[in-house]
């Protein structure tokens, strides 16, 4: 008769645990591509586990991509929706002339009063670019004439002598002039009359001495012996003292 050897309690416990583990429930994932989010431990998937090009826009939570996750120079104009970039998106003084297409900036794109003479290239403006009615103290053309009238003077008896001066505005000089006796009510004073008895005794620049660009006007003198009241008109032809270079 064989005798049965006695087993130790520790061996019995190990054996029981092995049996339980083999007889427990084990479940496999049901088929391919069936891994749910709760099957993956948090933080277990990293970038090396994701195939390049497989993450799409719908896979990203709104607002989850921040500026520090975009490489410098990676966003190009093709990736921007038209009309989405506004003034506050552009840093001050970062846009230069080279960033603007030629002839794309129009008048309504420029703030009124923001351009000064320093913004205009020298000698780039011509007469047709300037509204002459807006000029103050500047001749819109290279020459003009001015005149000055005396009061109405009697022509009775020996006549009335008179001296009359037409002065050029400041910044201009006289290059010629003259005078005439006129009847104011006759065609607006534009018709010479009775020339045989309306005498001019002097017609000269002011001052009358020789000089260079220093004549400020023109002076005439004469006597009215026509027997009719007349005015003495002096004319001066004026040009700018310094003519701008063209």
The answer to whether residue 40 scores a pLDDT higher than 50 is yes
Query: For residue 32, what pLDDT is reported?
Result: 58
The answer to whether residue 1 scores a pLDDT higher than 70 is no
Cα–Cα distance between 224 and 181 in angstroms, integer?
Answer: 8
Better pLDDT: 118 or 12: 118
238 pairs with which residues across the strands? 144, 174
Better pLDDT: 193 or 164: 164
DSSP 126-178: -GGGS-GGG-SSS-SSS-EEEEEEPPPB--STT-EEEEEEEEPPTTEEEEEEE
DSSP 63: T
Query: For residue 63, what pLDDT is reported?
Result: 78
State pLDDT tens for residues 127-157: 677 776 666 555 556 788 899 999 988 877 6
Cα–Cα distance between 149 and 129 in angstroms, integer?
Answer: 36
Cα–Cα distance between 69 and 218 in angstroms, integer?
Answer: 82
Q: Which of 158-162, 206-210, 242-246 has the highest mean pLDDT?
A: 206-210
Report the chain's C-alpha Rg in angstroms. Answer: 51
3-state helix, strand, coil in the chain (%, to 5): 20, 20, 55
Better pLDDT: 24 or 178: 178
Range in 26-30, 56-60, 128-132, 176-180 with the lowest mean pLDDT: 26-30
Range in 124-138, 151-165, 168-182 with the lowest mean pLDDT: 124-138
State pLDDT tens for residues 43-93: 777 778 788 878 887 878 887 788 788 888 888 878 888 888 887 888 888
DSSP 192: B
- Residue 231: which residues within 8 A CB-CB, separation 6 or more? 149, 150, 151, 152, 153, 181, 182, 183, 184, 189
- Residue 192: which residues within 8 A CB-CB, separation 6 or more? 180, 181, 182
Confidence of residue 17 (pLDDT cuts 50, 70, 90): very low
Query: For residue 168, what pLDDT is reported?
Result: 95
Q: 217 exposed, middle or buried (CB, 10 Å; 0-12, 13-18, 19+)?
A: buried
Compute the Cα dihedral for 212, 213, 216, 221 and give only its sign.
positive
Nearest to 224 by CA among 181, 192, 187: 181
Better pLDDT: 155 or 11: 155
pLDDT above 70 as % of the chain: 76
């Amino acid at each position: 008769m064989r005798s049965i050897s006695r087993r130790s309690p520790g061996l019995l416990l190990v054996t029981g645990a092995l049996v339980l583990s083999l007889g427990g429930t084990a479940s496999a994932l049901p088929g391919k591509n069936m891994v749910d989010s709760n099957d993956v431990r948090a933080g277990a998937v990293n970038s090396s586990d994701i195939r390049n090009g497989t993450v799409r826009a719908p896979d990203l939570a709104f607002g989850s991509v921040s500026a520090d996750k975009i490489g410098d120079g990676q966003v190009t104009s093709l990736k921007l929706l038209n009309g989405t970039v506004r003034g506050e998106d552009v840093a001050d003084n970062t846009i230069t002339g080279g960033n603007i297409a030629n002839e794309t900036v129009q008048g309504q794109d420029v703030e009124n009063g923001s351009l000064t003479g320093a913004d205009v290239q020298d000698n780039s403006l011509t007469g047709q670019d300037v509204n002459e009615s807006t000029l103050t103290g500047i001749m819109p053309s290279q020459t003009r004439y001015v005149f000055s009238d005396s009061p109405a003077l009697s022509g009775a008896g020996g006549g009335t002598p008179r001296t009359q001066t037409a002065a050029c505005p400041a910044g201009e000089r006289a290059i010629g002039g003259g005078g005439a006796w006129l009847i104011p009510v006759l065609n607006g004073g534009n018709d010479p009359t009775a020339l045989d008895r309306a005498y001019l005794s002097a017609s000269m620049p002011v001052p009358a001495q020789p000089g260079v660009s220093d004549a400020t006007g023109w002076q005439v003198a004469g006597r009215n012996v026509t027997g009719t009241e007349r005015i003495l008109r002096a004319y001066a032809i004026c040009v700018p003292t310094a003519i701008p270079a063209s």
